[in-house]
């Protein structure tokens, strides 16, 4: 069967009424998450995992996994659409990948062209979404074919590369990023060891036998951590929300932004595929690229529509591109995709090359639903942008306690122990303290998700080599991944020695 047949089957899955409904809910909540400052795509997705788990509890496992991942991915790319709204109307980015959009977007709003900026952002996001899904369709098969040939040694090295990429690009201090990664890997060892069946670090406490639940840790670190931060730090006085005005862009606007949208989409897609580099980096790169090739670069920062079109396309394309390593290799390249991966594993669906042969309905259903979801987002964001702009005015005094209540409900509904609730609050406090002191959280979650797999592959590889660690460098592909991982760590280090600033903070 060719790619087109699989895609058609995917559409058959995606247009089932419940999946259409889940895609719609996902993109709707995603847009709201993007609009609300303080809730990023990571905490949005983490918060919704337990909610989707309860919604899909009556379905059979494979269908439940499909519906859940459709909803959760919708939140992810939906947030990329919504993020532009506050950047343009309020000069406050809803999430970090929309930071550059404020430069020209807010200027356009001050000139009374907010509507045009918002609609160009939506059109650009739509185009970029479609580009990245086509890329996903084309690359999915060859990449998973290739990955099927990997043995445990290759997998171990590839996952190490993934960890190196994310740790190397996360936040100011690489030491801190690695500490977070190792802590995540260590936490993952708690519980029954999957290979030998030996209980580790459980001390005969029954709740620890299953290990610390990924869901509890992720919701605590991201969602509660952010809520605690907003409670502790006085919120800034609300700025005036700019008027939206005429929504449809003029013909000149469209003409002016066609090039930036196309370039932003392709650039964003390729940056998104790379592990570690995410939507934030993509939006910055595309903004700078546009400024460089523009005939009148002096217009940038004063309301150039290209300065909105390019980064908004790029961040959306990057979020689509980031799905590729997740789905085909089983290696999440960012915090948000790590959370998506954790969700899939909760449903006993292992992302990776076998996903396309074992669970084609999940993989292709998701891809097809992304086409539909992007279309929904375009429709939602053009006429309804004024409604979404109203969400900005949700009072924090209701929002924050309700987020805590949703976290407690979600964790309790899935885990049904008060132990997990205390764990949730504990990780929330840890998440606040760590993030506040520049300890990146995404690597910890990545380590937690990848930990068991890294360990299993390491031990399987060592078993075949009779305990000889050289096996990882003797296999050519594995050695290549390890060299890449080492370079990823060394290059920023060398650049820093030469006095260059290599601080990159990716949204994860």
Partner 1 sequence: MGLGEVFLLLLFSNKEGSTLQTGKFDRYASILFALLGAAFLIESRNISKSAYGSEVGPNVFPFLLGLILILLSVKLFLESFKNIQKEKKNTESLQIKRFIIILTASLLYAGFIETLGYILSTFLFLYVSFQAMERGSWIKNGIIALAFSFFVYFLFVVVLEGSLPGMPIWFS
Q: Does 296 bind partner 1 (CB under 8 A)?
A: no
| Region binding partner 1 by CB under 8 A among candidate stretches 81-89, 116-124, 176-184, 342-350 | 176-184
- Nearest-approach distance from CB 207 to partner 1, in angstroms: 14
Binding positions for partner 1, 40-99, rule CB under 8 A: 54-55, 57-58, 99
**DSSP E strand boundaries for 98-175:** 170-171
Query: Which residues, other chains included, contact 404 with Cβ-Cβ below 8 Å and sequence gap of 6+?
Result: 224, 227
Q: Does 397 bind partner 1 (CB under 8 A)?
A: yes
Which is closer to partner 1, CB of 375 or CB of 489?
489
Q: How many CA atoms lie within 13 A of 75 on its CB side?
A: 27
Cα distances (Å, whole numbers) of residue 42 to 96, 174, 216, 350, 359: 11, 21, 14, 20, 25
From the list 2, 4, 149, 198, which residue makes contact with partner 1 (rule: CB under 8 A)? 198
Rounded Cα distance between 33 and 48, Å, is 11
Query: Which residues, other chains included, contact 45 with Cβ-Cβ below 8 Å and sequence gap of 6+?
Result: 72, 75, 76, 336, 339, 340, 343
Q: Does 348 bind partner 1 (CB under 8 A)?
A: no
* Pairing between β-strand 504-505 and β-strand 170-171 as defined by DSSP bridges: antiparallel
Which is closer to partner 1, CB of 136 or CB of 274?
274
Rounded Cα distance between 103 and 444, Å, is 32
- Nearest-approach distance from CB 495 to partner 1, in angstroms: 9
From the list 269, 285, 356, 427, which residue makes contact with partner 1 (rule: CB under 8 A)? 285
Q: Does 295 bind partner 1 (CB under 8 A)?
A: no
**Quick check: 494 and 484 in contact, CB under 8 A?**
no
Q: How many degrees, rounded to 5, is the angle at CA 442 between CA 200 and CA 133?
A: 115
Which is closer to partner 1, CB of 5 or CB of 235?
235
Q: Does 253 bind partner 1 (CB under 8 A)?
A: no
Q: Does 206 bind partner 1 (CB under 8 A)?
A: no
Which is closer to partner 1, CB of 41 or CB of 249?
41
Rounded Cα distance between 92 and 81, Å, is 15
From the list 15, 139, 179, 241, which residue makes contact with partner 1 (rule: CB under 8 A)? 179
Rounded Cα distance between 219 and 126, Å, is 29
| Region binding partner 1 by CB under 8 A among candidate stretches 64-72, 116-124, 167-175, 386-394 | 167-175
Binding positions for partner 1, 427-456, rule CB under 8 A: 429, 433, 437-439, 455
From the list 382, 396, 484, 489, which residue makes contact with partner 1 (rule: CB under 8 A)? 396
From the list 150, 269, 284, 488, which residue makes contact with partner 1 (rule: CB under 8 A)? 284
Which is closer to partner 1, CB of 9 or CB of 465?
465
Q: Does 404 bind partner 1 (CB under 8 A)?
A: yes
From the list 288, 345, 384, 473, which residue makes contact with partner 1 (rule: CB under 8 A)? 288
Which is closer to partner 1, CB of 179 or CB of 479?
179
3-state SS of 235-267 is CCCCCCCCCCCCCCCCHHHHHHHHHHHHHHHHH
Q: Does 405 bind partner 1 (CB under 8 A)?
A: yes
Binding-site size, partner 1 (CB under 8 A): 74
Which is closer to partner 1, CB of 176 or CB of 359?
176
Query: Which residues, other chains included, contact 258 with Cβ-Cβ below 8 Å and sequence gap of 6+?
Result: none
Q: Does 490 bind partner 1 (CB under 8 A)?
A: no
Cα distances (Å, whole numbers) of residue 467 to 409, 445, 463: 46, 29, 6
- Nearest-approach distance from CB 223 to partner 1, in angstroms: 12
Which is closer to partner 1, CB of 139 or CB of 504?
504
Q: Which among 213, 190, 179 has a CA at the least distance from the CA of 443? A: 179
Q: Does 228 bind partner 1 (CB under 8 A)?
A: yes
From the list 4, 17, 296, 416, which residue makes contact with partner 1 (rule: CB under 8 A)? 416
Identify the H or E element spanning 199.
strand 199-200
Write each residue from 360 to 389 as x if it is in contact with partner 1 (CB under 8 A), else as -, in one continuous string: ------------------------------
* Pairing between β-strand 191-192 and β-strand 170-171 as defined by DSSP bridges: unpaired
Q: Does 496 bind partner 1 (CB under 8 A)?
A: no
- Nearest-approach distance from CB 418 to partner 1, in angstroms: 6
Q: Which residues pair with 171 in a beta bridge?
A: 504
| Region binding partner 1 by CB under 8 A among candidate stretches 9-17, 127-135, 230-238, 330-338 | 230-238
Rounded Cα distance between 269 and 272, Å, is 5
Cα distances (Å, whole numbers) of residue 460 to 350, 474, 477: 18, 15, 17
Q: Which among 125, 372, 133, 134 has a CA at the least distance from the CA of 264? A: 125
**Quick check: 377 and 23 in contact, CB under 8 A?**
no
Which is closer to partner 1, CB of 207 or CB of 421?
421
- Nearest-approach distance from CB 472 to partner 1, in angstroms: 13
């Amino acid at each position: 069967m060719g790619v087109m047949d699989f895609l058609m089957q995917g559409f058959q899955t995606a247009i089932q009424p419940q999946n259409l409904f889940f895609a719609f809910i996902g993109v709707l909540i995603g847009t709201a998450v993007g609009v609300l400052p303080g809730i990023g795509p990571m905490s949005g997705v983490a918060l919704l995992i337990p909610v989707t788990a309860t919604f899909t509890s009556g379905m059979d496992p494979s269908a439940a996994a499909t519906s859940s991942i459709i909803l959760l991915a919708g939140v992810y790319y939906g947030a990329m659409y919504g993020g532009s709204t506050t950047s343009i109307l309020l000069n406050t980015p809803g999430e970090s990948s929309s930071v550059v959009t404020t430069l020209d977007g807010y200027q356009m709003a001050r000139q009374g062209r907010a509507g045009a900026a918002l609609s160009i952002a939506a059109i650009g996001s739509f185009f970029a979404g479609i580009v990245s899904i086509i890329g996903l369709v084309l690359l999915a098969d060859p990449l998973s074919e290739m990955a099927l040939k990997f043995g445990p040694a290759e997998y171990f090295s590839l996952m190490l590369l993934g960890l190196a990429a994310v740790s190397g690009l996360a936040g100011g201090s690489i030491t801190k990023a690695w500490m977070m990664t190792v802590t995540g890997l260590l936490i993952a060892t708690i519980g029954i060891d999957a290979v030998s069946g030996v209980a580790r670090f459980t001390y005969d406490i029954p709740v620890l036998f299953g290990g610390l639940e990924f869901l509890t840790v992720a919701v605590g670190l991201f969602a509660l951590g952010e809520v605690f931060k907003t409670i502790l730090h006085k919120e800034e006085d609300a700025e005036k929300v700019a008027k939206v005005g005429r929504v449809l862009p003029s013909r000149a606007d469209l003409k002016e932004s066609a090039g930036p949208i196309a370039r932003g989409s392709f650039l964003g897609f390729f940056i998104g595929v790379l592990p570690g580099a995410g939507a934030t980096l993509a939006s910055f790169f595309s903004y700078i690229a546009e400024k460089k090739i523009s005939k009148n670069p002096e217009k940038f920062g004063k309301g150039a529509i290209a300065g909105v079109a390019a980064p908004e396309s790029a961040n959306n394309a990057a979020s689509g591109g980031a799905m590729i390593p997740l789905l085909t290799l089983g290696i999440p390249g960012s915090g948000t995709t790590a959370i998506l991966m954790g969700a899939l594993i909760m449903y006993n669906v292992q992302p990776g090359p076998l996903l396309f042969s074992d669970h084609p309905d999940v993989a292709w259903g998701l891809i097809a639903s992304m086409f539909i979801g992007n279309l929904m987002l375009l429709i939602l964001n053009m006429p309804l942008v004024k409604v979404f702009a109203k969400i900005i005015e949700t009072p924090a005094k209701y929002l924050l306690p309700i987020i805590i209540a949703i976290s407690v409900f979600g964790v309790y509904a899935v885990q049904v122990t008060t132990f997990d609730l205390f764990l949730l609050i504990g990780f929330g406090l840890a998440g606040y303290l760590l993030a506040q002191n520049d300890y990146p959280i995404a690597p910890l979650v990545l380590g937690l998700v990848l930990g068991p797999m890294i360990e299993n592959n390491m031990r399987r590889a060592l078993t075949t080599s009779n305990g000889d660690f050289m096996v990882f460098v003797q296999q050519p592909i594995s050695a290549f991944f390890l060299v890449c991982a080492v370079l990823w760590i060394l290059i920023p280090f060398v650049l820093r020695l030469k006095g260059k600033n290599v601080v990159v903070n990716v949204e994860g």
